[in-house]
Structure 1
Amino acid sequence: MHDHAHHSHPPEARSAAMDGPHAHVFLGADHDRNARRTWAVIGITAAMMVAEIAAGTAFGSMALMADGWHMSTHAAALMITALSYGYARAHAHDPAFSFGTGKVGDLAGFASAVVLAVVSLLIGAESLWRLLNPVEIDFTQATLVAVIGLIVNLGSALLLHEGHDHGHEGGHHDHSHAHDNNLRAAYLHVLADALTSVMAIVALIAGRIGGWVWLDPVIGVVGALVIARWSWGLMQQAGGVLVDRLPADAELPGEIRAALAPVAEITDLHIWLLGPGQYGAIIALRTGTPEPAAAYRARLGDIHELAHVTIEVNPRAEPGHGHRTAERA
């Protein structure tokens, strides 16, 4: 017999009929809120970018103009995040997406991680160039730009931080992928900008007080390495979701085996992420006393992150009678 269940705690992942046609919407519980916050941060970043470029042009400040154009790269990356939220929502019920659009955010997160890696390379290259070819720095003006940039970026980071890496408390839950890689990508872009602002302030103060002009590019190289590390971590996490890789410490396989092992032998088990905090599973069972698939499904009821489950039950072949394939309902 072959049966499938569709059960999940987020409202948009719940189907009207468990065994009949049902929706495959596996967007994160905070999908729309995260989209609104991302657009708000884009607005803040774009306003700051325009103000800095305009002021830099009016006052002949290269520091202001450079920071303004630097912010434009992060605004572009944030657009990847925001547009992917919109695309996932618009196509959530499109039957062409067999398991919904929950992974669109991970694809966007991976793309943003690549952009972040390019940003780190550009910062590193510019810093090494300045180390070999020192330039004169207007400390007062540059420090003011860095402070303003830091304030804007910290405010943006606060908007994007909530929920970017938090799982649900208590009960059965695999914390490995409960967060939204798309939001995490936007958060890391803003955090990278904040980090460069902090390091610039430290370097500029040291340069002004101690005359350590070389410290500015050195700290730039350090910042580039830190951002590259964040980028690599995000690539691994989002990329793992895209190729259906479960992390080594995932609890879900063990929980499924513990729930079903007392009543049947699991002969095949496939688990993958459908969207933030929501998993799909295909489970093949073999037992001498087959029960309806609903009985095995009920045993998985406490594992709330299982949003779409397909169960196949096969009777154990009797000695001398060969293997008999179960009927599929």
Structure 2
Amino acid sequence: MSVDCCHDHGKQDEDRPLGATRRALWAVLAINAAMFVAELTAGIWGKSVALQADALDFLGDSATYAMTLMVLGMSIRWRAGAAMIKGLAMGGFGFWVIGMMGYHFIQGSLPSAAIMGSVGILALATNLLSAVILFRHRKGDSNMRSVWLCTRNDAIANLAVIAGASGVWASGTGWPDLAVGAVIAALALSSSVTVLRLAQGELREEARA
């Protein structure tokens, strides 16, 4: 996502009725919570770093949607504060994935390419559905922007998981799985910085008002 897409952070997206936004958030919250359980189970069973990382990303997104619902309609200070928490959580998730990559590298785990590929396709379909639901709400403040970034990152990560599954199948090694984990970690850390900067800018504007 380009830097230009991150500039509309002055106030709540007034053109979108709060009721419609709440319904969209509840829908993607339910979708992501269900996918977290399914993908984590598959990741543990299939010994895949990428699937487990992506599953925890679904969990993080579920928490993000829940927190966004809590502060929806509140003041800029509350919404920016929630975005700060979510930005820090994204960063923590990125570092956690890096640690998990190190563990599986030491263990020499060989994931199941079939499980990675099939679950990756299911996860991609899930995130595309979430993206369609959230698309019209993507131009809001840092709080709603963080929601959109989470959904976008998940779709990119799913494509990487599918590519990683092909790599594991072709090479017979776990390196492609670890590479996908690195991509997911990088996305999380990059989005963390973006959301934190937006939230800090909103807090400064609120302080000057």
Instruction: Calculate the TM-score normalised by the size of structure 2.
Output: 0.79
Distance 2:57 2:13 in 1: 31
2:13 to 19, 23, 28: 28
**Greater relative contact order (Cα < 8 A, sep 6+):** 2
Q: Which has the larger radius of gyration?
A: 1
Counterpart position of 2:99: 125
| Residues 277-303 of structure 1, C-alpha deviations (whole Å, 9 max, x = no match) | xxxxxxxxxxxxxxxxxxxxxxxxxxx
Alpha-carbon RMSD across the aligned residues, in angstroms, is 3.0
Counterpart position of 1:192: 153
The runs of at least 4 consecutive aligned structure 1 residues that moved more than 3 Å come to: 49-53, 60-63, 65-70
Query: What displacement does 1:107 show?
Result: 1.8
Distance 1:210 1:124, change over 3 A: same
| Residues 111-143 of structure 1, C-alpha deviations (whole Å, 9 max, x = no match) | 111111111111222123323432021111121
Distance 1:146 1:212 in 2: 18
Distance 1:50 1:123 in 2: 18
State the aligned residue count. Answer: 195
Unaligned runs of 5+ in 2: 1-10
1:49 to 17, 36, 42: 36
Are 1:222 and 2:209 counterparts?
Answer: no
| Letter in structure 1 aligned against 2:164 | A
Are 1:76 and 2:50 counterparts?
Answer: no
Instruction: Determine if contact 1:160/1:183 at 8 Å carries over to the other structure.
Output: no
Bigger proportion of residues as helix: 2
| Residues 56-103 of structure 1, C-alpha deviations (whole Å, 9 max, x = no match) | 5xxx6666x9465552232112211111116x2xxxxxxxxxxxx244
| Letter in structure 2 aligned against 1:108 | A
Bigger proportion of residues as strand: 1
Unaligned runs of 5+ in 1: 1-25, 89-100, 166-178, 246-269, 273-329
Query: What displacement does 1:52 show?
Result: 4.9
Distance 1:226 1:47 in 2: 22
Counterpart position of 2:5: none
Distance 1:224 1:48, change over 3 A: closer
Distance 1:104 1:36 in 2: 20
| Letter in structure 2 aligned against 1:226 | L
Instruction: Determine if contact 1:147/1:197 at 8 Å carries over to the other structure.
Output: yes
Distance 1:43 1:200 in 2: 22
| Letter in structure 2 aligned against 1:223 | I
| Letter in structure 1 aligned against 2:167 | A
Counterpart position of 1:151: 125
Distance 1:110 1:144, change over 3 A: same
Counterpart position of 2:115: 141
Instruction: Determine if contact 1:131/1:218 at 8 Å carries over to the other structure.
Output: no
Identity percentage over the alignment?
A: 21
Instruction: Calculate the TM-score normalised by the size of structure 1.
Output: 0.52
